[in-house]
Structure 1
Amino acid sequence: MIEIKDLHKSFNEEIILNGIDAEFIAGKTNMIIGSSGSGKSVFLKNMLGLFKPDAGEIIYDGERLNEMDEDRQKELREQMGMLFQHSALFDSMTVEENVMFPLRMFTKMRRKERQERANDILERVNLINLNKKKPSEISGGQQKRVALARAVVNRPKFLFCDEPNSGLDPKTATIIDNLIQELTHESNMTTVIISHDMNSVLEIGETIIFLKDGKIAWKGNNKQIFKTDNESVTDFVYSSELFRKVRIAQNKGL
Structure 2
Amino acid sequence: MIEVKDIEKSFGNAKVLKGITTTFETGKTNLIIGQSGSGKTVLLKSLLGIHQPDHGIIAFDGRILSHMDADERRALRTEIGMVFQGSALFDSMTVEENVAFPLKMFTSKTPAEIKERVDFVIDRVNLVNAHHKKPSELSGGMQKRVAIARAIVNNPRYLFCDEPNSGLDPKTSIVIDNLIHEITVEYNITTVVNTHDMNSVMEIGEKIVFLKEGILAWEGSKKEIFKTDNEAVTDFVYSSNLFKKIRKAQNRDDS
1:64 aligns with 2:64: yes
Secondary structure of 2:209's counterpart equals strand
| Cα distance change of structure 1 residues 196 and 241 upon mapping to structure 2, 3 Å threshold | farther
- Give the TM-score of the pair, scaled to structure 2: 0.97
- Structure 1: tracts of 5 or more residues without a match: none
CA distance in structure 1 between the aligned counterparts of 2:176 and 2:57, rounded to whole angstroms: 31
* Percent of residue pairs bearing the same amino acid type: 62
Aligned to 2:73: 73
Aligned to 1:55: 55
Could you report, residue by residue, the CA deviation over 1:6-42 in whole angstroms, capped at 9, with x for unpaired residues?
0000001100000000100100000000000000000
1:113 aligns with 2:108: no
- Structure 2: tracts of 5 or more residues without a match: none
**Post-superposition shift, 1:248?**
3.8
Secondary structure of 1:119's counterpart equals helix
CA distance in structure 2 between the aligned counterparts of 1:251 and 1:208, rounded to whole angstroms: 21
Could you report, residue by residue, the CA deviation over 1:32-84 in whole angstroms, capped at 9, with x for unpaired residues?
00000000000011111101110000001101111111000000011000000
The 4+ residue runs of structure 1 with deviation greater than 6 A are none
Equivalenced residues, count: 254
| 8 A contact 1:202–1:222 mirrored in 2 | yes
1:29 aligns with 2:55: no
| 8 A contact 1:199–1:242 mirrored in 2 | no
RMSD (Å), alpha carbons: 1.1
| Cα distance change of structure 1 residues 43 and 250 upon mapping to structure 2, 3 Å threshold | same
**Post-superposition shift, 1:253?**
5.2
- Give the TM-score of the pair, scaled to structure 1: 0.98
| Cα distance change of structure 1 residues 125 and 239 upon mapping to structure 2, 3 Å threshold | same
Aligned to 1:222: 222
The letter for the 1-side match of 2:186 is E
CA distance in structure 1 between the aligned counterparts of 2:117 and 2:43, rounded to whole angstroms: 32
Aligned to 2:242: 242
CA distance in structure 2 between the aligned counterparts of 1:35 and 1:111, rounded to whole angstroms: 45
The letter for the 1-side match of 2:212 is K
CA distance in structure 2 between the aligned counterparts of 1:76 and 1:158, rounded to whole angstroms: 9
Aligned to 1:173: 173
**Post-superposition shift, 1:128?**
1.6
The letter for the 1-side match of 2:139 is S
Secondary structure of 1:81's counterpart equals strand
The letter for the 1-side match of 2:188 is N
Secondary structure of 1:21's counterpart equals strand
Could you report, residue by residue, the CA deviation over 1:97-135 in whole angstroms, capped at 9, with x for unpaired residues?
000011111111112211111111111111021000000
CA distance in structure 2 between the aligned counterparts of 1:156 and 1:251, rounded to whole angstroms: 40
| 8 A contact 1:4–1:23 mirrored in 2 | yes
Aligned to 2:3: 3
Aligned to 1:140: 140
CA distance in structure 1 between the aligned counterparts of 2:206 and 2:253, rounded to whole angstroms: 25
| Cα distance change of structure 1 residues 12 and 162 upon mapping to structure 2, 3 Å threshold | same
**Post-superposition shift, 1:241?**
4.3
| 8 A contact 1:33–1:208 mirrored in 2 | yes
